[in-house]
Protein backbone atom coordinates (compact mmCIF):
# COMPACT_ATOMS: atom_id res chain seq x y z
CA UNK A 1 0.00 0.00 0.00
CA UNK A 2 1.31 3.39 -0.97
CA UNK A 3 2.06 5.80 1.86
CA UNK A 4 1.84 9.53 1.29
CA UNK A 5 5.15 11.31 1.61
CA UNK A 6 5.79 14.85 2.82
CA UNK A 7 8.31 16.86 0.85
CA UNK A 8 11.44 17.95 2.75
CA UNK A 9 10.49 21.60 2.28
CA UNK A 10 7.03 21.01 3.72
CA UNK A 11 8.53 19.08 6.63
CA UNK A 12 10.82 21.98 7.48
CA UNK A 13 7.93 24.38 7.23
CA UNK A 14 5.78 22.21 9.48
CA UNK A 15 8.52 21.94 12.09
CA UNK A 16 9.11 25.70 11.99
CA UNK A 17 5.39 26.34 12.37
CA UNK A 18 5.21 23.95 15.33
CA UNK A 19 8.14 25.67 17.03
CA UNK A 20 6.49 29.06 16.55
CA UNK A 21 3.27 27.76 18.08
CA UNK A 22 5.25 26.44 21.04
CA UNK A 23 7.08 29.69 21.63
CA UNK A 24 4.09 31.99 21.38
CA UNK A 25 0.36 31.65 21.74
CA UNK A 26 -2.47 33.72 20.34
CA UNK A 27 -1.34 36.75 22.36
CA UNK A 28 1.96 36.93 20.49
CA UNK A 29 3.97 36.67 23.72
CA UNK A 30 6.15 33.76 24.79
CA UNK A 31 4.45 31.60 27.40
CA UNK A 32 6.03 30.52 30.67
CA UNK A 33 6.95 27.06 29.37
CA UNK A 34 8.91 28.55 26.47
CA UNK A 35 10.59 31.33 28.47
CA UNK A 36 10.76 30.24 32.13
CA UNK A 37 10.08 33.07 34.61
CA UNK A 38 13.06 32.21 36.78
CA UNK A 39 15.36 33.08 33.86
CA UNK A 40 15.84 36.21 31.79
CA UNK A 41 13.55 36.64 28.82
CA UNK A 42 14.45 37.11 25.16
CA UNK A 43 14.32 40.91 24.96
CA UNK A 44 17.33 43.20 25.09
CA UNK A 45 16.59 46.15 27.33
CA UNK A 46 17.91 49.56 28.32
CA UNK A 47 17.80 52.09 31.14
CA UNK A 48 16.52 55.65 30.83
CA UNK A 49 16.34 58.47 33.37
CA UNK A 50 13.64 61.07 32.74
CA UNK A 51 12.50 64.13 34.65
CA UNK A 52 9.36 65.62 33.11
CA UNK A 53 7.61 68.29 35.19
CA UNK A 54 10.30 68.05 37.92
CA UNK A 55 9.40 64.43 38.83
CA UNK A 56 12.27 61.98 38.49
CA UNK A 57 11.60 58.61 36.86
CA UNK A 58 13.82 55.67 36.04
CA UNK A 59 12.59 53.47 33.20
CA UNK A 60 13.78 49.99 32.16
CA UNK A 61 12.37 48.95 28.80
CA UNK A 62 12.79 46.47 25.92
CA UNK A 63 14.69 47.69 22.88
CA UNK A 64 13.77 44.76 20.62
CA UNK A 65 11.09 44.72 17.94
CA UNK A 66 7.58 44.41 19.33
CA UNK A 67 6.27 40.87 18.65
CA UNK A 68 3.53 40.44 16.08
CA UNK A 69 0.10 40.53 17.69
CA UNK A 70 0.40 42.85 20.72
CA UNK A 71 -0.68 46.47 20.25
CA UNK A 72 2.19 47.73 22.37
CA UNK A 73 4.45 46.99 25.31
CA UNK A 74 2.74 46.28 28.67
CA UNK A 75 3.72 48.55 31.54
CA UNK A 76 4.41 48.07 35.25
CA UNK A 77 4.55 51.22 37.38
CA UNK A 78 6.49 50.32 40.53
CA UNK A 79 6.73 52.32 43.77
CA UNK A 80 9.56 51.56 46.16
CA UNK A 81 9.42 51.05 49.93
CA UNK A 82 10.09 53.70 52.54
CA UNK A 83 13.83 54.57 52.63
CA UNK A 84 14.68 52.44 49.60
CA UNK A 85 15.57 53.36 46.01
CA UNK A 86 16.22 51.86 42.60
CA UNK A 87 19.19 49.63 43.40
CA UNK A 88 17.16 47.61 45.93
CA UNK A 89 14.98 46.33 43.04
CA UNK A 90 17.18 46.73 39.96
CA UNK A 91 17.84 43.03 39.10
CA UNK A 92 14.12 42.21 39.32
CA UNK A 93 13.24 45.18 37.16
CA UNK A 94 15.79 44.19 34.55
CA UNK A 95 14.32 40.69 34.44
CA UNK A 96 10.79 42.01 33.94
CA UNK A 97 12.04 44.19 31.08
CA UNK A 98 13.76 41.17 29.52
CA UNK A 99 10.34 39.51 29.36
CA UNK A 100 8.81 42.42 27.50
CA UNK A 101 7.57 44.72 30.27
CA UNK A 102 8.26 48.45 30.40
CA UNK A 103 8.93 49.29 34.07
CA UNK A 104 8.41 52.88 35.23
CA UNK A 105 9.90 53.69 38.65
CA UNK A 106 8.95 57.10 40.11
CA UNK A 107 10.71 58.96 42.90
CA UNK A 108 8.99 61.27 45.38
CA UNK A 109 11.93 63.67 45.60
CA UNK A 110 14.89 61.97 43.92
CA UNK A 111 16.82 58.70 43.87
CA UNK A 112 19.26 60.11 46.43
CA UNK A 113 16.68 61.63 48.78
CA UNK A 114 14.21 58.72 48.63
CA UNK A 115 16.98 56.19 49.36
CA UNK A 116 17.90 57.49 52.82
CA UNK A 117 17.08 56.56 56.40
CA UNK A 118 16.66 60.18 57.50
CA UNK A 119 14.99 62.47 56.70
CA UNK A 120 12.12 60.17 55.79
CA UNK A 121 10.58 60.68 52.37
CA UNK A 122 7.14 59.11 52.20
CA UNK A 123 3.84 59.04 50.37
CA UNK A 124 1.00 56.53 50.61
CA UNK A 125 -1.59 58.41 48.58
CA UNK A 126 -0.61 56.82 45.28
CA UNK A 127 0.18 60.27 43.86
CA UNK A 128 3.50 59.21 42.36
CA UNK A 129 2.08 56.06 40.80
CA UNK A 130 -0.51 58.32 39.20
CA UNK A 131 2.31 60.54 37.96
CA UNK A 132 3.88 57.41 36.46
CA UNK A 133 0.62 56.55 34.73
CA UNK A 134 0.32 60.12 33.45
CA UNK A 135 3.83 59.83 31.99
CA UNK A 136 2.94 56.53 30.30
CA UNK A 137 -0.20 58.05 28.80
CA UNK A 138 1.73 61.09 27.58
CA UNK A 139 4.38 58.89 25.97
CA UNK A 140 1.71 56.78 24.26
CA UNK A 141 -0.05 59.89 22.94
CA UNK A 142 3.14 61.61 21.81
CA UNK A 143 2.87 64.41 24.37
CA UNK A 144 6.11 63.19 26.00
CA UNK A 145 9.15 61.61 24.43
CA UNK A 146 9.41 57.83 24.34
CA UNK A 147 12.51 56.20 25.83
CA UNK A 148 15.26 56.18 23.18
CA UNK A 149 15.25 52.96 21.17
CA UNK A 150 11.82 51.76 22.29
CA UNK A 151 10.18 50.23 19.23
CA UNK A 152 6.41 50.43 19.03
CA UNK A 153 4.13 52.07 21.56
CA UNK A 154 2.82 51.37 25.06
CA UNK A 155 -0.27 49.24 25.67
CA UNK A 156 -2.54 51.25 27.95
CA UNK A 157 -4.91 48.29 28.26
CA UNK A 158 -2.20 46.23 29.97
CA UNK A 159 -0.84 48.19 32.91
CA UNK A 160 0.01 47.09 36.46
CA UNK A 161 0.50 49.08 39.66
CA UNK A 162 3.06 47.45 41.94
CA UNK A 163 4.98 48.32 45.05
CA UNK A 164 6.71 47.26 48.24
CA UNK A 165 5.76 48.46 51.75
CA UNK A 166 4.86 52.15 51.29
CA UNK A 167 4.66 51.47 47.55
CA UNK A 168 2.30 48.53 48.14
CA UNK A 169 -0.11 50.76 50.06
CA UNK A 170 0.15 53.34 47.27
CA UNK A 171 -0.62 50.68 44.65
CA UNK A 172 -3.70 49.44 46.50
CA UNK A 173 -4.95 52.93 47.28
CA UNK A 174 -4.62 54.39 43.77
CA UNK A 175 -6.10 51.25 42.20
CA UNK A 176 -9.05 51.43 44.60
CA UNK A 177 -9.78 55.05 43.70
CA UNK A 178 -9.21 54.72 39.94
CA UNK A 179 -11.89 53.77 37.40
CA UNK A 180 -12.16 50.07 36.59
CA UNK A 181 -9.92 49.23 33.65
CA UNK A 182 -7.21 51.71 34.60
CA UNK A 183 -4.93 48.81 35.48
CA UNK A 184 -5.26 45.09 34.95
CA UNK A 185 -3.18 43.99 37.96
CA UNK A 186 -2.15 45.25 41.41
CA UNK A 187 0.90 43.76 43.12
CA UNK A 188 1.26 44.63 46.82
CA UNK A 189 4.36 43.24 48.53
CA UNK A 190 4.47 43.61 52.32
CA UNK A 191 1.95 46.45 52.64
CA UNK A 192 1.25 47.99 56.04
CA UNK A 193 -1.41 45.80 57.70
CA UNK A 194 -4.91 47.06 57.13
CA UNK A 195 -7.04 49.23 59.42
CA UNK A 196 -4.55 49.39 62.30
CA UNK A 197 -1.00 50.66 62.86
CA UNK A 198 1.79 51.05 63.14
CA UNK A 199 1.66 53.52 61.57
CA UNK A 200 -2.04 54.51 61.73
CA UNK A 201 -4.09 55.66 58.72
CA UNK A 202 -3.62 57.27 56.28
CA UNK A 203 -0.30 55.41 56.02
CA UNK A 204 -1.88 52.00 56.38
CA UNK A 205 -4.51 50.58 54.05
CA UNK A 206 -8.14 49.71 54.77
CA UNK A 207 -10.06 46.54 54.05
CA UNK A 208 -12.48 48.63 52.00
CA UNK A 209 -9.62 49.79 49.77
CA UNK A 210 -8.37 46.23 49.34
CA UNK A 211 -11.84 45.14 48.28
CA UNK A 212 -12.18 48.07 45.87
CA UNK A 213 -8.76 47.45 44.34
CA UNK A 214 -9.52 43.74 43.94
CA UNK A 215 -12.87 44.47 42.32
CA UNK A 216 -11.16 46.57 39.66
CA UNK A 217 -8.07 44.48 38.88
CA UNK A 218 -6.34 41.22 39.67
CA UNK A 219 -4.61 41.29 43.07
CA UNK A 220 -1.34 39.74 44.23
CA UNK A 221 -0.45 40.20 47.93
CA UNK A 222 2.85 38.87 49.25
CA UNK A 223 4.28 38.94 52.78
CA UNK A 224 6.56 36.78 54.91
CA UNK A 225 6.53 34.89 58.21
CA UNK A 226 9.39 37.00 59.56
CA UNK A 227 8.46 40.57 58.61
CA UNK A 228 9.05 42.61 61.77
CA UNK A 229 8.41 46.02 60.19
CA UNK A 230 4.91 46.33 61.65
CA UNK A 231 5.26 44.70 65.06
CA UNK A 232 6.16 41.17 66.17
CA UNK A 233 7.17 39.12 63.15
CA UNK A 234 4.91 36.25 64.23
CA UNK A 235 1.92 38.59 64.01
CA UNK A 236 2.35 40.07 60.53
CA UNK A 237 1.56 37.22 58.12
CA UNK A 238 -1.68 36.25 59.85
CA UNK A 239 -2.82 39.84 59.93
CA UNK A 240 -1.99 40.34 56.25
CA UNK A 241 -4.02 37.24 55.38
CA UNK A 242 -7.03 38.62 57.26
CA UNK A 243 -6.64 41.83 55.27
CA UNK A 244 -6.48 39.80 52.04
CA UNK A 245 -9.82 38.20 52.97
CA UNK A 246 -11.45 41.49 51.94
CA UNK A 247 -10.57 40.77 48.29
CA UNK A 248 -13.55 39.53 46.30
CA UNK A 249 -12.02 39.10 42.83
CA UNK A 250 -9.19 37.14 41.22
CA UNK A 251 -6.46 37.24 43.84
CA UNK A 252 -3.42 35.41 45.21
CA UNK A 253 -2.01 35.64 48.72
CA UNK A 254 1.35 34.11 49.64
CA UNK A 255 3.36 34.30 52.83
CA UNK A 256 6.98 33.32 52.27
CA UNK A 257 8.74 31.24 54.87
CA UNK A 258 11.10 32.63 57.46
CA UNK A 259 13.78 30.24 56.23
CA UNK A 260 13.52 31.59 52.68
CA UNK A 261 13.57 35.25 53.70
CA UNK A 262 16.13 34.95 56.49
CA UNK A 263 18.58 33.86 53.80
CA UNK A 264 18.80 37.54 52.84
CA UNK A 265 22.49 38.51 53.13
CA UNK A 266 23.95 40.04 56.26
CA UNK A 267 24.87 43.70 56.07
CA UNK A 268 28.53 42.73 56.48
CA UNK A 269 28.36 41.36 52.92
CA UNK A 270 27.17 44.65 51.43
CA UNK A 271 29.49 47.30 50.04
CA UNK A 272 29.18 50.58 51.90
CA UNK A 273 28.60 52.48 48.69
CA UNK A 274 26.38 51.49 45.79
CA UNK A 275 26.30 52.93 42.27
CA UNK A 276 23.57 55.35 43.36
CA UNK A 277 24.98 56.36 46.73
CA UNK A 278 25.38 55.19 50.32
CA UNK A 279 23.54 51.93 50.99
CA UNK A 280 23.22 52.22 54.78
CA UNK A 281 22.20 48.56 55.06
CA UNK A 282 22.26 48.42 58.87
CA UNK A 283 20.21 51.55 59.27
CA UNK A 284 17.52 50.14 57.01
CA UNK A 285 17.38 46.46 57.96
CA UNK A 286 17.84 46.91 61.73
CA UNK A 287 14.35 48.37 62.17
CA UNK A 288 12.47 45.79 60.09
CA UNK A 289 14.41 42.55 60.02
CA UNK A 290 15.37 40.55 56.95
CA UNK A 291 11.85 39.35 56.29
CA UNK A 292 10.74 42.80 55.21
CA UNK A 293 13.50 42.82 52.58
CA UNK A 294 12.43 39.51 51.06
CA UNK A 295 11.11 41.21 47.86
CA UNK A 296 14.33 43.21 47.43
CA UNK A 297 17.62 42.61 45.76
CA UNK A 298 20.80 42.91 47.81
CA UNK A 299 22.85 45.66 46.13
CA UNK A 300 26.35 44.42 45.46
CA UNK A 301 25.50 40.85 46.56
CA UNK A 302 24.31 39.07 43.40
CA UNK A 303 24.09 35.62 45.01
CA UNK A 304 20.78 36.63 46.62
CA UNK A 305 17.69 36.24 44.45
CA UNK A 306 14.38 37.15 46.00
CA UNK A 307 12.07 34.11 46.25
CA UNK A 308 9.21 36.48 45.37
CA UNK A 309 10.78 37.68 42.11
CA UNK A 310 9.73 34.65 40.07
CA UNK A 311 6.09 34.92 41.14
CA UNK A 312 5.89 38.61 40.35
CA UNK A 313 7.25 37.73 36.90
CA UNK A 314 4.68 34.96 36.48
CA UNK A 315 1.84 37.20 37.64
CA UNK A 316 2.73 40.07 35.33
CA UNK A 317 3.04 37.77 32.34
CA UNK A 318 -0.15 35.85 33.17
CA UNK A 319 -2.16 39.09 33.33
CA UNK A 320 -0.46 41.54 30.98
CA UNK A 321 0.70 39.10 28.30
CA UNK A 322 -1.98 36.40 28.43
CA UNK A 323 -5.00 38.12 29.98
CA UNK A 324 -5.20 35.35 32.61
CA UNK A 325 -5.95 32.81 29.86
CA UNK A 326 -6.58 29.46 31.57
CA UNK A 327 -4.85 27.68 28.68
CA UNK A 328 -1.58 29.55 29.23
CA UNK A 329 1.36 27.96 31.03
CA UNK A 330 1.78 31.16 33.06
CA UNK A 331 -1.75 30.67 34.40
CA UNK A 332 -0.91 27.07 35.37
CA UNK A 333 2.13 28.23 37.29
CA UNK A 334 0.09 30.83 39.16
CA UNK A 335 -3.14 28.92 39.78
CA UNK A 336 -2.29 25.27 39.06
CA UNK A 337 -1.02 22.51 41.31
CA UNK A 338 1.86 21.11 39.28
CA UNK A 339 5.37 20.59 40.66
CA UNK A 340 6.55 24.01 39.43
CA UNK A 341 3.45 25.94 40.49
CA UNK A 342 3.19 28.57 43.20
CA UNK A 343 1.20 26.10 45.28
CA UNK A 344 4.16 23.69 45.21
CA UNK A 345 6.86 26.24 46.02
CA UNK A 346 8.67 25.13 49.17
CA UNK A 347 9.56 28.76 49.92
CA UNK A 348 5.90 29.57 50.57
CA UNK A 349 4.61 28.85 54.07
CA UNK A 350 0.97 29.82 53.53
CA UNK A 351 -1.18 30.76 50.57
CA UNK A 352 -4.68 31.40 49.34
CA UNK A 353 -5.69 31.49 45.70
CA UNK A 354 -9.11 32.59 44.58
CA UNK A 355 -10.89 33.02 41.25
CA UNK A 356 -14.11 34.83 40.52
CA UNK A 357 -16.46 32.62 38.56
CA UNK A 358 -19.75 34.15 37.40
CA UNK A 359 -21.12 35.66 40.62
CA UNK A 360 -19.29 33.34 43.00
CA UNK A 361 -15.79 33.28 44.46
CA UNK A 362 -13.91 30.00 44.22
CA UNK A 363 -10.96 29.21 46.47
CA UNK A 364 -8.54 27.25 44.29
Please enumerate in sequence order all residues whose Cβ is within 8 A of that of 255, keeping only pairs 6 or more positions apart, or say none.
222, 223, 224, 225, 237, 240, 241, 348, 349, 350, 351
What's the Rg (C-alpha) of the chain? 21
Give the phi and the psi of residue 120 in degrees, each rounded to 5: -70, 135
Q: What is the mean pLDDT of residues 84-105?
A: 97
* pLDDT level of residue 14 (50, 70, 90 thresholds): very low
Peptide bond into 202 cis (omega under 30): yes
Please provide the DSSP assignment of 302-331 as one string.
TT---TTHHHHHHHHIIIIITTT-TTSHHH
Q: What is the mean pLDDT of the chain?
A: 90
User: Would you call 7 exposed, middle or buried from its count of C-beta atoms within 10 A (0-12, 13-18, 19+)?
Assistant: exposed
Say if residues 58 and 94 touch (Cβ distance below 8 Å). no
Share of the chain above pLDDT 70, in %: 90
The answer on pLDDT for 23 being more than 60 is no
Q: What is the pLDDT of residue 197?
A: 60
Share of the chain above pLDDT 90, in %: 76
The answer on pLDDT for 54 being more than 80 is yes
Amino acid sequence: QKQSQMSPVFKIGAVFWAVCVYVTNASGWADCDAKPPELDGAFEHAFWAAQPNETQFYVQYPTATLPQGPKGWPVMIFMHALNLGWEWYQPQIERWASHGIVVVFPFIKSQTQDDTVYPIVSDTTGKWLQKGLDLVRDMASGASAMPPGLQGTLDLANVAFAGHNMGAVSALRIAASSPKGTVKLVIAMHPFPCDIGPPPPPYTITKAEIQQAGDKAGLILFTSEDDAAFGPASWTAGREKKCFAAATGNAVFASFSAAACDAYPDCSEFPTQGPFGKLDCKGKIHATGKGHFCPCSAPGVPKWVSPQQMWVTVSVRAYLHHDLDTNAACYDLLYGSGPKSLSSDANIADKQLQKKSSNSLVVV
